[in-house]
Amino acid sequence: MKDLIDALRKDIVTVVFEKIDTGEIRIMPCTLNNDIHKQKITIGNYTSPDVILMFALDKQAWRDVRINTIKEWYIGMPKEEK
């Protein structure tokens, strides 16, 4: 997951994961790059080895994603479905 976090800090990354509450597959463009999202957050002592906190660009909100639900990720915006 270090590679994912490094990518999130540099650029926009699309994360594909399974939502815990519904089992639905979510395709989320997100980032941790302050120059892209420009949203500051105070999270205090938020640390978890099982969860990554990231800024969802499509929702303009912070989201936490459990690592074990991530199916794939790639740099860039979501790919167009054909």
What is the C-alpha to C-alpha distance for residues 5 and 25, in angstroms, rounded to an integer? 20
Q: What is the structure's pLDDT at 68?
A: 97
The gap between the terminal CA atoms of the chain, to the nearest Å, is 29
CATH 2.60.40 fits 2-75, yes or no: no
Q: Please report where in the chains the tokens 């949203």 appear, as a residue.
A: 39
Contact 72, 79 (CB under 8 A): no
Contact 54, 65 (CB under 8 A): yes
Dig out the tokens for 39 from the structure. Answer: 């949203």
Q: Over the stretch 30-75, which tens digit does the pLDDT of each residue have?
A: 999 988 887 766 555 556 789 999 999 999 999 999 999 999 999 9
pTM score, whole prediction = 0.86
